[in-house]
Structure 1
């Protein structure tokens, strides 16, 4: 779990929270929480999916440098298989908020539900990553962090194309999953992986 920084005195600390990686067949579901500093605005914040990879990479260190606090957390493929993807996503979000170096007064959660066990008041906002800058910032941190995880996994297992599809069930990923079998990092409860495992041939462990 990665985190940073000390906050200055502020009237009301609001954390934006978002996740990335519910749909992929492989890897962690990643969440981030960000408390922005009103005195240090960041231009260009929006839903990470609306930004180019280059722009996200530019904003990633800027958010970390200018935010009052930020945290990145995740739930593992094993936790996803055990809990299901929804509950694992909630767990990753909870961990992200708890990982902040300061406790916010309010957490704004992208989506239609709030994770349990937060240390503060919470409000769910549908399409919040387009409406709330702090959620946009969290979206960017989570997206860049998870994409980097997929690039690293691609370097270890180049045959699957993870750097290209980031673990989503593209035609390339489905074909390589069929040919090569699941890795330990694959989510075994997801249907395409479970079906391939059922064949029980040449599985990489």
Structure 2
């Protein structure tokens, strides 16, 4: 199947949009979502999750969960990211989300944001900037972003020294300085490098460049 699968475009198709959130952070998992939208879904509420405000994303998520034909959210952990690299972990999280959704909804075509595709058992298309142009991918982008942000807010309660609720694990100056001062938490990606601030001493366990 995959690239070589043929199907009749004249027949109704079940199309699944897939996207991830969290490739760039220094800490936390990568999250992926898969979404199937119906023809009557109000696509005007959707956009790339990166350009929507938090309030807009939260409102859109409520509608997606209520009106989408199906959706699923999956993860790849920081340990998995360290083991197989961030690209492969992102593709793994996408496949996990797809596998969840296909149990009850046979899928004809998966549209994936970006230029890489997970190994799925259906026809799969990678679409650069799909999270800004394809409604099902936009919806997946929103679900993945919101789910990952909530995870990092919870992580902040367990490891408050790092300010996860503010930067969600991304490499802000505040986050880098906390890593240098306190070392790495259990959810930091140890194969990622932490850029040092000016004249900071390298603590044990931190990688600098």
| 2:111 equivalent to 1:108 | yes
Q: TM-score, normalised by structure 2?
A: 0.86
What do the CA deviations read for 1:119-170 (whole angstroms, capped 9, x no partner)? 2110000000111000000000000000000100111122211111010000
Offset, 1:201: 6.8
Q: What is residue 12 of structure 1 aligned with on the other side? A: 13
Runs of 4+ in structure 1 displaced over 3 angstroms? none
Q: What is residue 5 of structure 2 aligned with on the other side? A: none
Residue in structure 2 matching 1:130, options 129, 132, 135: 132
Q: TM-score, normalised by structure 1?
A: 0.88
| 2:58 equivalent to 1:54 | no
Instruction: Provide the C-alpha distance between the structure 2 equivalents of 1:44 and 1:65, rounded to a whole number of angstroms.
Output: 13
Q: Secondary structure at the match of 2:194?
A: helix
| RMSD after superposition | 1.9
The aligned length equals 189
Q: What is residue 147 of structure 1 aligned with on the other side? A: 149
Gapped regions of structure 2 (runs ≥ 5): 1-10
Gapped regions of structure 1 (runs ≥ 5): 1-9
Residue in structure 2 matching 1:200, options 198, 204, 207: 204
Instruction: Provide the C-alpha distance between the structure 1 equivalents of 2:105 and 2:40, rounded to a whole number of angstroms.
Output: 17
Q: Secondary structure at the match of 2:16?
A: strand
Asked if 2 retains the 8 angstrom alpha-carbon contact of 1:103 and 1:119, the reply is: no
Bigger Cα Rg? 2
